[in-house]
Structure 1
Amino acid sequence: MTAQRQERNRNRPRTGFRPGMALIALLAGLAAQVLVGPAAQAATTERVVVNRFSGLAIEGFDPVAYFVDARPELGVEDLEASEAGAVWRFCNEGNRAAFVAHPDIYGPQFGGYDPIDVARGVTVAGNPRFWLISGRRLYLFSREQSRDAFAADPEHVLREANARWQALLLELAE
């Protein structure tokens, strides 16, 4: 930088606004909306929570294992079944057969969405690592605090969630 330019910049009041940086930030924001926006939206517009790249429900965990083994177990690629537009994986053939016979019992309630958020009228994908079986049904939660709040008063949460679920289903994609 020349001495004249340095002197001119030193005497110029600093406003904190830098047009070049503002343009870069604007372009980055637009790119994020174009690239990430549809992905984030797609993850919360399905009737059953699935990985948008693999089509796997509940991240490949075996839904029957929550009942049988009382813990999340990853299923295997050789033992899969399709139900409700999702691919479900299982640890063994017995779990697969049980799910195929009764997907409404073994599949996570509210399509795998967090019942606390469903009760608030929004769909937030549950995490298969935060789970609870209540009333012989599997519920997945987006965070540990939601699971704890549900466990404290499941009847109240389910009353609110069931009241809002049908309207949310209408908003979710087929």
Structure 2
Amino acid sequence: MRGVRASKVTGLALLGLFCAAVTWAAPAEAASTERIVTDHRTGLAIAGFDPVAYFIQSRPVAGKADFEAHQGGAIWRFHDARDREIFLSAPEVYAPRFGGYDPTGLARGRIIAGEPNIWLIHGGRLYLFSRIENRDAFAANPAAFAEAAEKWPALSETLADY
């Protein structure tokens, strides 16, 4: 009887470890539901960074809670009211291309969230990357990656709606 009970306990422990490992590994590749990369707790797009600042100040700048806008199912923050108005006049220009997902991952058929501090502007659009190596690969051949990343419409359809 003890052997059966020990086997059950061991089996449950192994199942728990497996579940923990699967849960722990999940963030590397986004199993997301959003068309725009957002923080699940706050709803902030691109971790609260001002998307317009990448173009005007040529660097990531943290947005402020006083200057927010709701657009595309996400909350966007801005450094000032001017940046908020610029964004709202053309969100399709200032929002990160592919919703902030890494275009090199998309080119490979994988949905991976980009990081706001790893970025590049190409062709008048902001791209976010999950790794510096991905940004460098994209920069070496942006046209090829941008074209291959056009899998985005089909991939974005695989994201579930809430």
Pick the TM interval, shorter chain.
0.7 to 0.9
Q: Counterparts of 1:54 and 1:110 in 2: how far apart (Å)?
A: 21
* 2:106 corresponding residue in structure 1: 118
- In the TM superposition, residue 172 of structure 1 has moved relative to its aligned partner by 1.6
Query: For 1:72-102, what per-residue CA distance to the aligned partner results, in whole angstroms no more than 9, with x for missing partners?
Result: 0000011000111000000011100000110
Query: For 1:10-39, what per-residue CA distance to the aligned partner results, in whole angstroms no more than 9, with x for missing partners?
Result: xxxxxxxx9555542322333565xx48x8
Q: Counterparts of 2:58 and 2:92 in 1: how far apart (Å)?
A: 18
| Greater RCO (CA < 8 Å, at least 6 residues apart) | 2
* 1:28 corresponding residue in structure 2: 17
The match for 1:76 among 53, 64, 69 is: 64
* 1:166 corresponding residue in structure 2: 153
* 1:86 corresponding residue in structure 2: 74
- In the TM superposition, residue 170 of structure 1 has moved relative to its aligned partner by 1.3
Distance 1:42 1:85, change over 3 A: farther
Q: Counterparts of 1:173 and 1:65 in 2: how far apart (Å)?
A: 30
Query: For 1:34-80, what per-residue CA distance to the aligned partner results, in whole angstroms no more than 9, with x for missing partners?
Result: xx48x858752210010011000000000000000000000001100
Query: For 1:98-143, what per-residue CA distance to the aligned partner results, in whole angstroms no more than 9, with x for missing partners?
Result: 0011000000000000000011111100000000000010000000
List structure 1 runs of 4+ shifted beyond 6 angstroms. Answer: none
* 2:87 corresponding residue in structure 1: 99
Q: Which amino acid is the alignment partner of residue 159 of structure 2?
A: L
Q: Counterparts of 2:31 and 2:57 in 1: how far apart (Å)?
A: 28
Equivalenced residues, count: 153
Q: Which amino acid is the alignment partner of residue 103 of structure 1?
A: P
Structure 1, unaligned stretches of length 5 or more?
A: 1-17
Distance 1:57 1:43, change over 3 A: farther
C-alpha RMSD of the superposition:
2.2
- Alignment partner of 1:171: what SS? coil
The match for 2:45 among 57, 79, 88 is: 57
Distance 1:79 1:144, change over 3 A: same
Q: Counterparts of 1:52 and 1:43 in 2: how far apart (Å)?
A: 12
- Alignment partner of 2:77: what SS? strand
Q: Which amino acid is the alignment partner of residue 167 of structure 1?
A: A
Structure 2, unaligned stretches of length 5 or more?
A: 1-5
The match for 1:137 among 107, 125, 130 is: 125
